[in-house]
Amino acid sequence: MKRLRRFEKIAPAPGEARTVSFPLPVSEPAFIGLDDRPVVEPGRFELMAGSTTAAFVVK
């Protein structure tokens, strides 16, 4: 499942490189469980920005 969690539109000039950063708390991959409370399941998650992907693990 893919979900948009953060978004920032930038318009770099041709050939320009930029660094964009934002906080990503561990609660971001949470979903609402059967008891109507947020749940963060352990596992591997991927962050995608354009064609770049990075993985992190929640234990």
- CA neighbours closer than 13 Å in the CB half-sphere of residue 56: 9
Query: What does each of the 59 residues of the chain score in pLDDT, given as a tens digit?
Result: 788 877 888 888 999 988 888 788 878 888 899 999 999 888 888 888 778 888 888 88
What is the per-residue pLDDT for 57?
85
Q: pTM for this structure?
A: 0.57
- CB 9, CB 18: distance < 8 Å: no
What is the residue extent of each domain of the chain?
Answer: 25-59
What is the per-residue pLDDT for 19?
85
Please tell me the distance from the alpha carbon of residue 51 to that of residue 15, in angstroms, as a whole number: 16
